[in-house]
Each structure stands twice: as C-alpha cells, then as structure tokens.
A and B are shown apart, each in its own frame.
Chain A
Amino acid sequence: DAGVIQSPRHEVTEMGQEVTLRCKPISGHNSLFWYRQTMMRGLELLIYFNNNVPIDDSGMPEDRFSAKMPNASFSTLKIQPSEPRDSAVYFCASSLVPASSYTFGSGTRLTVV
C-alpha cells in the first residue's frame, strides 16, 4: 500500500489566490481527517469525514476554507481566497475503525505571500 498520498508537497501562492490541496486515503479506510500544523498552534483538526460524509467541520477557521470528499478515494481542501496567515503544513490522515491508529500523509507545505 502506498499510504496516504497528498499533493502537492509544496505550494507557494499569492494572497487572494485559490489553493486546492488533495488527498488520497488508504484504500478501505472509512475515515479521513484534515489537520493543519503551525509552530504557534500545533496540530489542529480542521474537518473529518466518515464514510465520505463530513462529521465535524468546527475546526475550519472560516468560510474561506472548504473540504469535500466526493468518493472514498479522494478528498480536497480548498482555500479561497488565501491569506498569508494560512501558511502552514496541512496533513491528511485516514483510519479504519476507532481503535485503529491514523495513517498520515507527508503533508502539503503552503506558503501564501
């Protein structure tokens, strides 16, 4: 298994531009999570899906952020418009059942200038 695959690995964009981050979870996993990591705030859960349905999006910072999971093998996190304070590493993770550990992707390092 290739693990959780995220793309792109790095993204540099100008303020105001739309950014789309992508994630392919491990096949068969039924839960998918988006986290954001910064030095100041550590790891923050943004949103998670169970069986492709968003369960809790209370961590999404504002309406500029949106996430979708159109099928079991793909999810996107979109920021529109992007701002410099959105600069962070964004991780996607997936898991199978509550007792299982998460498997994390390698992350997308986003820089908004």
Chain B
Amino acid sequence: AQSVAQPEDQVNVAEGNPLTVKCTYSVSGNPYLFWYVQYPNRGLQFLLKYITGDNLVKGSYGFEAEFNKSQTSFHLKKPSALVSDSALYFCAVRDGGSGAGSYQLTFGKGTKLSVIP
C-alpha cells in the first residue's frame, strides 16, 4: 500500500519569506512524487514531479521540491512567497513499478498555505 502524509494542515508565511510545505511518503517500489495546487473553486493543477534523476526538482511558478530517499520526504519550497501563492497544496505518490496498479496516485490531505501581505 502507498500513503502520503502532510503533517501540517495550515502553513502561514509572510510575503517575501521562504516557504516550505512538508510531505512524507510510503511506497513499496520506486516513488513517483507529485505536487499539485488547488485554488478556490478550481480543480487541481500540476506543479512539479520527481520520477528519477536530480533530487531537486523545479516546477511552475518558482516552486521546487527536494526528494530525500533516506527520509522518504518530498518537501515543497519557494525562496520568496507571494500573496498569490495562497492556496491548497497536495502531495501525491505513485508506485513506479509496472502494472495497472501503478497508475493510481495517492494524495495527502492537503496543506493550506496562507501568505500574509
């Protein structure tokens, strides 16, 4: 079974400060890791993913995430937060093995990010 934990329901950060949204995962095979963002009354939008290669992944809107295999973590980061970054952020994991079962993405509960002007 695969699972994702986002330990913080809410993260508050001042505009211009760096932000981190935490994510840890559990999967039996190689992890495929994703971050999505959801703005109010909208669907989820893809931000970035880690499949293989460099542990630091860069994505949309200046976000990046660092894959840490030993800590089974995939924290989302941004050097300087904007008010417009305020949204709900979801981490997700998929088992990178073969077979139809590996198509399934498991999402965390989500973390609400509030960037304070």
Binding site for B on A (CB under 8 A): 4, 31, 33, 42-43, 45, 48, 50, 55-56, 91, 93, 95, 98-99, 101-107
Is B104's beta carbon under 8 Å from chain A?
yes
B103 touches A95 (CB 8 A): yes
A91 in complex: contacting residue of B34, B43, B100, B104, CB < 8 Å:
B43
Total number of residue pairs linking A and B with CB closer than 8 Å: 55
Set of chain A residues within 8 Å of B103, measured between Cβ atoms: 31, 48, 50, 55, 95, 98
Number of interface residues of B (CB under 8 A): 25
Binding site for A on B (CB under 8 A): 32, 34, 36, 42-46, 49, 51, 90, 94, 96, 98, 100-110
State in angstroms the CA–CA spacing of A68 and B23 once bound together: 34
A48 touches B104 (CB 8 A): yes
State in angstroms the CA–CA spacing of A57 and B100 once bound together: 13
Set of chain A residues within 8 Å of B46, measured between Cβ atoms: 101-103
State in angstroms the CA–CA spacing of A107 and B41 once bound together: 8
B105 touches A56 (CB 8 A): no
